[in-house]
Copies of this chain bind each other. A is one copy, B any other.
Amino acid sequence: MKKIVIVGLGLIGGSLALALKGFEDYKVVGVARRQATVDYALSHGVGDEATLNVTAALREADVTFLCINPEDIVAFMREHRSHFKPGSLVTDVCGIKGAIMEASRALPPEVDFVGSHPMAGTEFSGIEHALTDMFRGAHYIITPREDSRPENVALLARMADYLGCRDVVNTTPAEHDAIIAYTSQMMHIIAVSVCDDESLFTCKGYEGSSFRGCTRVAALDVDLWTQLFSLNAPALTVCLDALLGHLKAYRDVIAAGDEQRLKKMLAWSSDRKRQMDLPGPDLLS
């Protein structure tokens, strides 16, 4: 049997290890840094096998998923460059692609790398929050290298399909990072900024689905998101400046009491949203 090795059994790695079980003729092997995580994986069926021995696992991996923090991915590829199996595919799952693709040049030429970013997650961390259905309905974004082998891109597409993803979106690292600054990173900055309000704790009992939907992701993994924001600072700053301008425009028209102008602005913005026609709604309550 061929092997999929998943390095890092956190929320996403653990969910992958659950969801990829039974994929074609692959065995799923999880690699963790702590024995407690290995024990949890073995006792809960997270993957087919679990081990602390990363080097031995890499040598037998036909596909390696790096499910660790961005800076750790960079260091990992450098440190383990000679341990990957020749002819194998290495990929990742992290929310930044420029720095990762750049770092993948450390790999030997006989190892292919295709960047992955399944647009899924929850506000929780750790293997105990892993879900088989984590990727259902999510976009699976890939950033192949120019010389990535077509069969590896096709393999990731079949895996994405097996995970229940909505589609596979093929793009460049630069485009990925520019768009993700807006659709994902900025949502997290908004969420934490809303929670910085001094009335946060007095508002319990007064929150509805709009508040829960906006602030849910504020309970974020601090190390992970510090790295993601820092590695994409220029694009994220551009998005935040645009947001500050749009918010300020609403703030000013509301403060001025210009009801006619406010109505026109709301008509324009809400019409844009309706044109978006995103799948959903995710929630009703």
**Which residues of chain A have a CB within 8 Å of any CB of chain B?**
119-123, 131, 133-134, 136-139, 141, 167, 169, 176, 178-180, 182-184, 186-220, 222-223, 225-226, 229-230, 233, 236-237, 239-244, 246-251, 254-255, 257, 259, 262-263, 265-270, 272-276, 278, 280-285
Please judge, given known A-B contacts A179-B206, A187-B210, A210-B184, whether A136 and B285 are in contact too, CB under 8 Å.
yes
A168 and chain B: residue at smallest CB distance: B205
CB of A44, distance to nearest CB on chain B (Å):
18
B229 with A262: CB separation less than 8 A: yes
A/B interface sample: 5 pairs, CB < 8 A:
A138-B208, A187-B210, A189-B254, A193-B243, A212-B280
A276: chain B residues within 8 A (beta carbon) = 195, 200-201, 204, 215
The count of identical subunits is 2
Q: How far is the CA of A167 from the CA of B237 in the complex (A)?
A: 41
Most B Cβ at <10 Å: residue of A188, A192, A248: A192
**Across-interface contacts of A237 in B (CB, < 8 A):** 251, 254-255
Most buried by B among A167, A194, A233: A194
Known A197-B182, A222-B263; contact A208-B254, beta-carbon cutoff 8 A: no
- Cβ contact within 8 Å between B119 and A208: yes
Contacts of A187 in B (CB 8 A): 194, 210-211, 213-214
Whether A188 and B206, one on each chain, are in contact in the complex, defined by CB atoms closer than 8 angstroms, is no
> How far is it, in angstroms, between the C-alpha of A209 and the C-alpha of B209 when the chains are bound?
13
Interface centre among A121, A136, A237 (most CB of B within 10 A): A237
A233 (CB) vs chain B CBs: closest residue: B254
CB nearest to A164 among chain B residues:
B285
Closest 7 CB pairs of A and B: A213-B213, A192-B269, A218-B273, A119-B208, A187-B210, A282-B283, A193-B246
- Contact indicator B216/A229 (Cβ below 8 Å): no
Residues of B within 8 A of A209 (CB): 120-121, 282
Interfacial chain B residues near A205, Cβ < 8 Å: 139, 141, 167, 169
Known: A251-B237, A285-B137. A269 touches B193 (CB 8 A): yes
Given contacts A233-B255, A263-B226, contact A186 B194 (CB under 8 A): yes
> Most chain-B CB neighbours within 10 Å: which of A254, A272, A285?
A285
Selected from B229, B244, B263, B282, the residue in CB contact (under 8 A) with A282 is: B282
CB pair A222–B179 under 8 Å, yes or no, is: no
Contact check, A259 vs B285: say whether CB atoms are below 8 A apart: no
Kindly list chain B residues whose C-beta atoms are within 8 Å of the C-beta of A203: 179, 182-183
Give the residue name and chain of the B residue nearest to A167 (CB): B205
Contact of A206 among B122, B133, B139 (CB under 8 A): B139
Q: Do B196 and A272 have beta carbons less than 8 Å apart?
A: yes
- Complex Cα gap A193–B120 (Å): 24
